[in-house]
């Protein structure tokens, strides 16, 4: 079963190409976690974890909701 992506942050102030790249990156992550077996130790470590990835000049912080099968972006910032 696939994971969906929920952007819990407002991307409206970002350039369109950055918004699109963040969306593509998060969808790639959602597609990748779908391939991880349910018995993997990965899932138990994700229950209370925040993850981050840098896309262009932006840091995207997200979590994986295993119950709802959704990747949720919870924070977006520009590291200095």
- The pLDDT value recorded for residue 70 is 96
Instruction: Assign 34 a pLDDT band (cuts: 50, 70, 90).
Output: very high
User: Are the C-beta atoms of 30 and 4 separated by less than 8 Å?
Assistant: yes
Straight-line distance from the first to the last Cα atom of the chain, in angstroms, rounded to the nearest whole number: 38
- The pLDDT value recorded for residue 24 is 97
What the chain holds in terms of domains, given with CATH numbers, is 4-77 (3.30.2310)
Reading across the β-sheet that carries 4-7, which strands appear in turn? 4-7, 70-77, 58-65, 51-55
- List phi, psi (to 5°) of 70: -140, 145
- The pLDDT value recorded for residue 80 is 75
pLDDT at 1 over 80: no
pLDDT at 79 over 80: no
| pLDDT digits 0-9 by tens, 53-78 | 999 999 999 999 999 999 999 999 99
**Do the strands 70-77 and 4-7 form a parallel or antiparallel pair, or are they unpaired?**
parallel
């Amino acid at each position: 079963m696939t994971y969906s992506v929920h952007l819990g942050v407002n991307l409206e102030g970002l350039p369109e190409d950055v918004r699109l790249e963040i969306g593509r990156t998060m969808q790639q992550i959602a597609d990748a976690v779908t391939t991880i077996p349910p018995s993997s130790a990965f899932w138990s470590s994700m229950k209370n974890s925040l993850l981050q990835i840098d896309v262009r000049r932006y840091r995207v912080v997200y979590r994986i909701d295993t119950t709802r099968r959704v990747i949720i972006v919870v924070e977006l910032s520009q590291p200095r």
